[in-house]
Amino acid sequence: MAQSVKKTLIGLKSGKMSVEKALDFLKDLPYKDLGFAKVDNHRALRRGFPEVIFSPGKTVDQIVKISKRILAHDGLLVITRADRKIYRRLKRSFPKIRYAEMARIVYLQKATSVARKKGLVLVVTAGTADMPVAEEARVTLEIMGNRVETLYDVGVAGIHRVLDKKHILNKADVVIVIAGMEGALASVVSGLVSKPVIAVPTSVGYGASFGGIAPLLTMMNSCSPGVAVVNIDNGFGAGYLASLINR
Amino acid sequence: MAQSVKKTLIGLKSGKMSVEKALDFLKDLPYKDLGFAKVDNHRALRRGFPEVIFSPGKTVDQIVKISKRILAHDGLLVITRADRKIYRRLKRSFPKIRYAEMARIVYLQKATSVARKKGLVLVVTAGTADMPVAEEARVTLEIMGNRVETLYDVGVAGIHRVLDKKHILNKADVVIVIAGMEGALASVVSGLVSKPVIAVPTSVGYGASFGGIAPLLTMMNSCSPGVAVVNIDNGFGAGYLASLINR
Amino acid sequence: MAQSVKKTLIGLKSGKMSVEKALDFLKDLPYKDLGFAKVDNHRALRRGFPEVIFSPGKTVDQIVKISKRILAHDGLLVITRADRKIYRRLKRSFPKIRYAEMARIVYLQKATSVARKKGLVLVVTAGTADMPVAEEARVTLEIMGNRVETLYDVGVAGIHRVLDKKHILNKADVVIVIAGMEGALASVVSGLVSKPVIAVPTSVGYGASFGGIAPLLTMMNSCSPGVAVVNIDNGFGAGYLASLINR
Amino acid sequence: MAQSVKKTLIGLKSGKMSVEKALDFLKDLPYKDLGFAKVDNHRALRRGFPEVIFSPGKTVDQIVKISKRILAHDGLLVITRADRKIYRRLKRSFPKIRYAEMARIVYLQKATSVARKKGLVLVVTAGTADMPVAEEARVTLEIMGNRVETLYDVGVAGIHRVLDKKHILNKADVVIVIAGMEGALASVVSGLVSKPVIAVPTSVGYGASFGGIAPLLTMMNSCSPGVAVVNIDNGFGAGYLASLINR
Amino acid sequence: MAQSVKKTLIGLKSGKMSVEKALDFLKDLPYKDLGFAKVDNHRALRRGFPEVIFSPGKTVDQIVKISKRILAHDGLLVITRADRKIYRRLKRSFPKIRYAEMARIVYLQKATSVARKKGLVLVVTAGTADMPVAEEARVTLEIMGNRVETLYDVGVAGIHRVLDKKHILNKADVVIVIAGMEGALASVVSGLVSKPVIAVPTSVGYGASFGGIAPLLTMMNSCSPGVAVVNIDNGFGAGYLASLINR
Amino acid sequence: MAQSVKKTLIGLKSGKMSVEKALDFLKDLPYKDLGFAKVDNHRALRRGFPEVIFSPGKTVDQIVKISKRILAHDGLLVITRADRKIYRRLKRSFPKIRYAEMARIVYLQKATSVARKKGLVLVVTAGTADMPVAEEARVTLEIMGNRVETLYDVGVAGIHRVLDKKHILNKADVVIVIAGMEGALASVVSGLVSKPVIAVPTSVGYGASFGGIAPLLTMMNSCSPGVAVVNIDNGFGAGYLASLINR
Amino acid sequence: MAQSVKKTLIGLKSGKMSVEKALDFLKDLPYKDLGFAKVDNHRALRRGFPEVIFSPGKTVDQIVKISKRILAHDGLLVITRADRKIYRRLKRSFPKIRYAEMARIVYLQKATSVARKKGLVLVVTAGTADMPVAEEARVTLEIMGNRVETLYDVGVAGIHRVLDKKHILNKADVVIVIAGMEGALASVVSGLVSKPVIAVPTSVGYGASFGGIAPLLTMMNSCSPGVAVVNIDNGFGAGYLASLINR
Amino acid sequence: MAQSVKKTLIGLKSGKMSVEKALDFLKDLPYKDLGFAKVDNHRALRRGFPEVIFSPGKTVDQIVKISKRILAHDGLLVITRADRKIYRRLKRSFPKIRYAEMARIVYLQKATSVARKKGLVLVVTAGTADMPVAEEARVTLEIMGNRVETLYDVGVAGIHRVLDKKHILNKADVVIVIAGMEGALASVVSGLVSKPVIAVPTSVGYGASFGGIAPLLTMMNSCSPGVAVVNIDNGFGAGYLASLINR
């Protein structure tokens, strides 16, 4: 977090930190070169949130090394699409690390690292099977300091379920709508609210849903303006963007 | 219509028609070979409705010749996707012919040719731009003897418009839902009624609607069962099928 | 089923049920909120058939909990795409539950819950490999109270097999045609009958069948009107729609 | 605008408006049924902005009629994808109407109809050819009361052009990035800022850009979180969403 | 034709042709370099048929120049996808040139240039609109010396039309089946005969026929073996291949 | 085989077979209904070759039952895409059954069942990895009585390998070209010969070969006429068609 | 060109240019902001070649303004995909401007602006219809100072045409292969040479060539290594890259 | 390598090698026919590098046999996409064989077989997960005698990481850019350098990256000229081409 840089500068100015230690901290800016990875230590300063590790395609060893560099520099580590094996391995080095299993997120957060935000983000799903994606969004939002509420399984097959919750929709500042199959829920919700809607197509479905292409196109073509779309199953991206909007 | 065959046989039996004339009529069964076309005169007997002419790719001359053969045999001529030129040309030979311009249907129907059906078919559109497809369905339905009502421009961007019409939805025996862009209306309507829903994706939209692929996929993946889909912009096919269901 | 609501109201009126018990039953209308799922108890009233559970993406635990809520309210539980594990787990709680293995449907149906329908639905397949989808349609139809007959393996490679069965095609009130590979059977059957045809493309095939896209497009473009299409492998949806038509 | 309803109620309460006139105004809520269109007069109340007319597929006559209903009820008329013909026709009835030609937007806005917003929205394009889409976004934003700045032709072929403008990027509250061809600019911009980025793929390009699919996929797969995507060439949708975020 | 080379050699041997003239003729083997084109004069020797000119993308000037080179060398000129303009221009230089308008083929054939073949090729179409493609095949076949019969408009919507012609199907040595829309006719015909079937998908259709992709996939996935497919609308290629098979 | 029917009729006429036995044999014409399958016993009469079993999607039990019906009627059983398990199971009932493992074909052929053909079919592959498909074609061809030669691994990366074999190409009556990756070999071979070329795209390749779409399109668009294409990996279909051509 | 900057600096140093004039020249570095365009004057320094104008989507006015800024700064103006109208308009301001019509390139080049390169680039096409793309490459290469030779119309339908030119292929330092339809020529050429091959798919073809997708995939999947692909019809890009390689 | 042929000829001329032995060596030119494979021994002469074995779809036995033929003839064996099993098996016959595990390349190189090249090739990746593809390129380049440097994990989410390395980019003679997800890095790098850029899309990503289609399209549509693209994950092809350019 930018907090770490700030703390270093304050420590230096106040005399509580030696020039050597400050230099040591700052020399990894703007990134730390590990050979197989350039850890973007500058990101927290630039974007308000440190680099997040996307697990697929990385070896557990690589993830451990990058994690150590991030924690050496920032107060916050987030690893997405992480399986239990990654969690167990990091647990050995960082006993306080946590694992949100359904969300597949491993994270470690120092108490003071994130400022709480005032707005409310609502995470809505069309079906129960969309929950892993929704949880990825929810956990991301909470780590980033947002108030979150959820409204799961209110798909358009029984539209009274979402109409019945208009009061919850109305009090939200940002709405994330997560749906697979035909993905119609995003348009419907957008038509009911005056807040930005982030739509997440999911790969829930079969046959002509083509692994999420069907809801992606549905959401992309929403007849109701005020909707934008992130990648299929990208709960993290939706949560991250909602948090930027919620500032 | 099968009526023509029946009338021939009755005429023969009752002595009002000579064997020669009857033979003459029947010799074109089961089809009349025009070289470039085999007019399926048997279709009315088999399917309860004579062959319908789909205009694109046929020359006006070919259409005129096929029309004459159909009218020589059946009491009902229907030409779809017909422009005004085809209409004008046929008008010369058949002064009673009619043209439903928005529906692009040219037709000529002898008074007694179709039995009226009891059920009600409701044609619903998401937007005003879907109307040509809807009119193609509506005119087809009326020619085939159905009672039809329409509910246009009730897309999900303002869902109260369709919820407000639940009483109309409930009294229909078959519902045709026509929508372009994201095509979400079919799922929503299907979730509200206990009647079969025929969904027609339209090419209304732009960009990632890909000429109707987006609503086609949406409708195909409807999370609400009881929906089946016809080709993009196929108002005729939807009307035809609804009429078969309405028997 | 709507039956349950009716029984409650009758019970109350006749004095056989206390106000408390009736209230307890009705408080779950229009849906029961389980957090991860909103069970749509209102659906039977609205659509004539209770909510059906689509298994993929749900944990066995979630399925069990939703099943219990549905059975507490309706006389009919249907779970599609269910494997044997789900069946065994529910069997413990509901000994009378049944499993149609080829159809992958788990169901429990109280004797009086569905009214029998008069019409006949015919389920036709092009090949033997299309049978799991056909059985999903057949079992769905029988649960919903329809008379069903089947005509399996009559694909167009040997067209005399289907032509030979015209009498069966003619006596049906609705025809479901299920085919993979090139899916030509739907057009052929539709050209032979005067009844609505519901076409189901299947993922049977290889190479350029692209998991069912080839037969889907074939069916969508049928040169014979009177055909509508449901999702690839969606036997349940075809059966459900046929049952709505057969009312 | 909701303003109109409020004014009616205040007028009524203060005695400045008769009950008859108020009723007359309110009877078109929640929508006005024109047969071919249901004008969603309730939308301003619900969403904070009245219905916007999307021109393609509508006849000029239909657009005129819908425009009159909207202006009878709201202080703000917006018509997108409008050609000069539509503008000229409406000009006759509404002399104060305006036309933003490059943006293809016709609009008429009563002075007090929209509250000004504090935040700044920045509209960025990769190339000069993306300008019509950018102007659609910009005009939409200005009508909706936002402060807007533009940064055109800063595509990644000369990345110093966008890096050089970091100070402008940093002062924006929302950034809209518009790009055709390979659409890489959205990821790059998102990596530089801590604000939400709305990405608009355009149909600018040829060959394997497939009318905008290439930049759409690029933006959808952005390796930098904080980006969401709207439909190809959808400048209006991007502007609308940015305005909702900027509240 | 290889005839030309043979004639040259015979002429030389018999003393009727001077060495100089023979050399002059042979110096353009194996191809004549026109800069913008290398006319493949060797093709007739190698493949039994001279190079054929595909018009699109070539200027009329280029076509004229290539035509002259081919006629200087071979007894047979064939130009496909040719419009009337090309025909008129060549007519000036070669008064005996002919134009098959519906087939869009311009050709000039010296009397003795092609040996007649014994077998019969049957060209079948599903609809009247497929005729231009069918005529391209038919004219190609006749130029190449084949006996051809046609069977037009026998699509599967009225399957008795093709079943009724089994005797014609059976007497053919090769069958070309041409169909747009869903393209089911190829499978059906193949299931009826013991001869090779060449299937030609056409761009006849709309919506989900995607310019011929639907029938192409249908034909590719034929459940009946003995079918192979050529490009969409490629009547020439089908005729050419049928002629090779008919040798 | 048609042989079986002929033998029955001869046996009956000559008095060697009782009417009862003949009737018993003929009652399964034109197909035997097994419920899950209609075995097309008429196919050998109609097409010159009995029904072939495509294994995927059928249970081993179903395959055994269909196999028995075919062998009860015809002298030839062919099962494609068969794994060793199917072979072992059938081996128990039919000890003479054979398994071509690389070709994945199980077959049993009575000595006199197929007439030998005079022509030569050449099977060419671009690479070693295309061999399973090539072997499927080769074994099919041999079962159907054709002379076959093979030319494997002569892809265009080293074009001298195929040019060097022109004499073999020239003596063939039909050429099957099998290639994955970019599939260019079919065009090249077709340009060298005056015989029909059947092209088989294979799923050999990765990335943008999209499981065989790349070579399929290549072959479909061959600039050299005289090529037709069968489904991806469809060695059986290519062999079958080549055999029909080779009659 | 970087030449301009160098000249300025030399002029300044030698006293031939005043500080004011030098400043005036340099103040447009690294780009000139025209509002609708940021002319990348730094590009010549960075990439060795100034910005090139891609015409589509730009108004003639915009092109004129950008052209003037480029010529004020660099010795070389290149405009691609330019029609005759753009040429005529610029001709008024810059009489020495030239137009390569088939290549659709407008350019103006000061005599000393580009260093000649030693290597030879060979531009090969499969057909005559590929020439506009080839000419775009050729003209680009010549403007950039390369020696170029062309080899047109040597597609694989007559493979001896390209084999016959091996000596030309071998003397080239870079080969550009341009082909539509099935695009097989790139693989074949690559297999014959030891030099880098740049492949350009063209939109020449019809049906399943899908506007150039077929040759694009063919080239992408080349079984012969040493090939890379640029966008469909992108002759400019191929020429530009070949010139970079030829340095 | 061509070295082997040269050595044979020198040996013969100098009398150090018998005619018999030379003949024995040369008789496998231009290829060795193993039946299932034609080993292209001529390739080293023609292309400067011997045939490389692509493992997928070949049995280990086939790979061993082809390897032996190549090593009998050339001083260099390269096997791509090879798993550890292939390595172990070859290790038995060729103890000096090596395995680059992450690159999945098995190779054996005689000391003198390749000439070192002067130029520098830079291999750049967007992320850590792209490393296996990058290593395939790097190892290929080193085997072919190139100097290689790598720059891993410098994707555009933190663009300062690549901008910071401009000095490395500038000293390279060829740059290979490897990226999955949105693949934007290729355009950015190309805009910074004056050297040829070879772009490799990878299958790293999920959802709408469609296994590498998204970065492939991105790279294909690069707004910065000087980029060409190889197949998805084709590190070998990129390395091979870079080596040809680096000659």
More confident residue, C53 or A33: C53
G203 contacts chain D (CB < 8 A) = yes
The reply to whether residue A236 touches residue D229, judged by beta carbons under 8 angstroms, is no
Query: Residue D27: which pLDDT band, with cuts at 50, 70 and 90?
Result: low
Looking at this protein, which amino acid is placed at residue C237?
G
Task: Tell me how far CA of residue H42 lies from CA of G208, H7, H87, in angstroms.
Answer: 36, 15, 25
Looking at this protein, which amino acid is placed at residue F35?
G
Residue matched to tokens 């230099």: A23
**Do residues A32 and A105 share a domain?**
yes
The reply to whether residue E184 touches residue C181, judged by beta carbons under 8 angstroms, is no
Q: Is the pLDDT of residue D17 over 80?
A: no
Which of chain E's residues have a Cβ under 8 Å away from the Cβ of C163? Answer: 159, 163
Q: Is the pLDDT of residue G4 over 80?
A: no
Give the end of a domain, one of D63, D83, D109. D109
The 10 Å Cβ neighbour count of residue H16 is 10
Identify the closest residue of chain F to G227 by CA–CA distance.
Answer: F157
Of the given ranges (A147-156, F93-102, G11-20), which has the lowest mean pLDDT? G11-20
Give, to the nearest 10 degrees, the angle between helix F131-143 and helix F235-245. Answer: 40
3-class DSSP string for chain B: CHHHHHHHHHHHHCCCCCHHHHHHHHCCCCCEECCCCEECCCHHHHHCCCCCEECCCCCHHHHHHHHHHHHHHCCEEEEECCCHHHHHHHHHHCCCCEEECCCCEEEEECCCCCCCCCCEEEEEECCHHHHHHHHHHHHHHHHCCCEEEEECCCCHHHCHHHHCCHHHHHHCCEEEEEECCCCCHHHHHHCCCCCCEEEEECCCCCHHHHHHHHHHHHHHCCCCCCEEECCCCCHHHHHHHHHHHCC
Which of F231, F232, F234 is best to mutate for the C interface (most C CBs within 10 A)? Answer: F231
E114 in a structural domain: no
User: How do residues A164-216 score in pLDDT, each as one tens digit?
Assistant: 898 999 999 999 999 999 999 999 999 999 999 999 999 999 999 999 999 99
Q: What is the pLDDT of residue F47?
A: 86
**Do residues F69 and F124 share a domain?**
no
Q: Is the pLDDT of residue B22 over 50?
A: yes
Give the end of a domain, one of A82, A109, A136. A109
D114 in a structural domain: no
Task: Tell me how far CA of residue D244 lies from CA of D48, D111, E20, in angstroms.
Answer: 9, 20, 86
What is the Cα–Cα distance from F233 to F230, expressed in whole angstroms?
8
User: How do residues F46-60 score in pLDDT, each as one tens digit?
Assistant: 888 889 999 999 999
G201 contacts chain F (CB < 8 A) = no
Q: Calculate Rg over the CA atoms of chain H.
A: 20
What is the Cα–Cα distance from A86 to A96, expressed in whole angstroms?
14
How near does any CA of chain A get to the CA of C16, in Å?
31
Question: What is the Cα H31 distance to its own chain's centre?
Answer: 22
Which of chain C's residues have a Cβ under 8 Å away from the Cβ of E221? Answer: 181-183, 205, 207-209, 214-215
B115 in a structural domain: no
What is the Cα–Cα distance from A2 to A7, expressed in whole angstroms?
9
Can you tell me the mean pLDDT for F128-132? 96
- Strand B174-179: give its sheet, edge to edge: B147-151, B120-125, B174-179, B197-201, B227-229, C227-229, C197-201, C174-179, C120-125, C147-151
Query: Residue H57: which pLDDT band, with cuts at 50, 70 and 90?
Result: very high
B94 in a structural domain: yes
Whose CA is closest to F231, among C154, G208, E203, E218? E218
Q: Which two tokens stand for residue F94?
A: 């039919």
Give the end of a domain, one of E87, E109, E131. E109
Q: What is the pLDDT of residue B45?
A: 78
ipTM of the complex as predicted: 0.91
Q: Report which secondary-structure segment, H or E, holds F36.
A: none
The reply to whether residue E228 touches residue F226, judged by beta carbons under 8 angstroms, is no
Which of chain C's residues have a Cβ under 8 Å away from the Cβ of E213? Answer: 217
**Do residues E160 and E210 share a domain?**
yes
DSSP E strands: which ranges in chain F? 32-33, 38-39, 53-54, 76-80, 98-100, 105-109, 120-125, 147-151, 174-179, 197-201, 227-229
The reply to whether residue C205 touches residue E221, judged by beta carbons under 8 angstroms, is yes
Q: What is the pLDDT of residue B151?
A: 96
Task: Tell me how far CA of residue D236 lies from CA of D134, D136, D137, H191, in angstroms.
Answer: 9, 6, 5, 31
Q: What is the pLDDT of residue A42?
A: 81
Cα–Cα–Cα angle for F30, F33, F37, rounded to 5 degrees: 110
3-class DSSP string for H62-102: HHHHHHHHHHHHCCEEEEECCCHHHHHHHHHHCCCCEEECC
Full residue range of the structural domain in which residue D179 is found: 120-246
The whole-chain average pLDDT of chain B stands at 90
**Do residues B135 and B242 share a domain?**
yes
B68 in a structural domain: yes
Q: Are F95 and F105 in contact (CB under 8 A)?
A: no
CATH of the domain at A223: 3.40.50.1970
Q: Is the pLDDT of residue E2 over 60?
A: no
**Do residues D64 and D135 share a domain?**
no
Q: Are C225 and B245 in contact (CB under 8 A)?
A: no
B169 contacts chain C (CB < 8 A) = no
Of the given ranges (A176-190, G19-33, G130-144), which has the lowest mean pLDDT? G19-33
Strand pairing report for F197-201 and G105-109: unpaired
Q: Are C145 and C115 in contact (CB under 8 A)?
A: yes
Which of chain F's residues have a Cβ under 8 Å away from the Cβ of C164? Answer: 30-31
E115 in a structural domain: no
**Do residues F51 and F101 share a domain?**
yes
B48 contacts chain C (CB < 8 A) = yes
D105 contacts chain A (CB < 8 A) = no
More confident residue, H241 or A28: H241
Find the length of chain H.
247
Q: Is the pLDDT of residue F132 over 50?
A: yes
Which of chain B's residues have a Cβ under 8 Å away from the Cβ of E209? Answer: 231
Of the candidates B160, B161, B207, the beta carbon closest to that of D231 is on B207
Can you tell me the mean pLDDT for E126-142? 97
H144 in a structural domain: yes
Which of H161, H185, H218, H222 is best to mutate for the D interface (most D CBs within 10 A)? Answer: H218
G58 contacts chain D (CB < 8 A) = yes
H/C Cβ contact: 3+ pairs below 8 Å? no
Identify the closest residue of chain A to H214 by CA–CA distance.
Answer: A231
User: How do residues G152-209 score in pLDDT, each as one tens digit?
Assistant: 999 999 888 999 898 999 999 999 999 999 999 999 999 999 999 999 999 999 999 9
Interface partners of chain D (CB pairs < 8 Å, 3 or more) are A, B, G, H
Which of chain D's residues have a Cβ under 8 Å away from the Cβ of A229? Answer: 220, 228-230
**Do residues D147 and D99 share a domain?**
no
**Do residues B139 and B91 share a domain?**
no
Q: How many CB pairs under 8 A join G and H?
A: 85
Helix, strand, or coil (residue C65): helix
The 10 Å Cβ neighbour count of residue B23 is 11
Percentage of chain F exceeding pLDDT 90? 68
**Do residues E45 and E97 share a domain?**
yes
Which of chain F's residues have a Cβ under 8 Å away from the Cβ of H31? Answer: 158, 160-161, 164
A221 contacts chain D (CB < 8 A) = yes
Which of chain E's residues have a Cβ under 8 Å away from the Cβ of B62? Answer: 128
Total domains in chain D come to 2
Identify the closest residue of chain B to A217 by CA–CA distance.
Answer: B214
Q: Are F221 and G182 in contact (CB under 8 A)?
A: yes
H115 in a structural domain: no
**Do residues H174 and H103 share a domain?**
no
Q: What is the pLDDT of residue A1?
A: 43
Cα–Cα–Cα angle for D17, D22, D24, rounded to 5 degrees: 135
The reply to whether residue D204 touches residue G36, judged by beta carbons under 8 angstroms, is no
Can you tell me the mean pLDDT for D71-97? 93
User: How do residues H58-98 score in pLDDT, each as one tens digit?
Assistant: 999 999 999 999 998 878 999 999 999 999 999 999 999 99
Cα–Cα–Cα angle for C22, C25, C27, rounded to 5 degrees: 105
Q: What is the pLDDT of residue C47?
A: 86
Which of chain C's residues have a Cβ under 8 Å away from the Cβ of B46? Answer: 191-194
Q: What is the pLDDT of residue H2?
A: 54
Q: What is the pLDDT of residue F31?
A: 80
What is the Cα–Cα distance from C234 to C219, expressed in whole angstroms?
14
What is the Cα–Cα distance from G141 to A14, expressed in whole angstroms?
63
**Do residues D170 and D127 share a domain?**
yes
- Strand D147-151: give its sheet, edge to edge: A147-151, A120-125, A174-179, A197-201, A227-229, D227-229, D197-201, D174-179, D120-125, D147-151
Q: Are E157 and C189 in contact (CB under 8 A)?
A: no
**Do residues E147 and E219 share a domain?**
yes
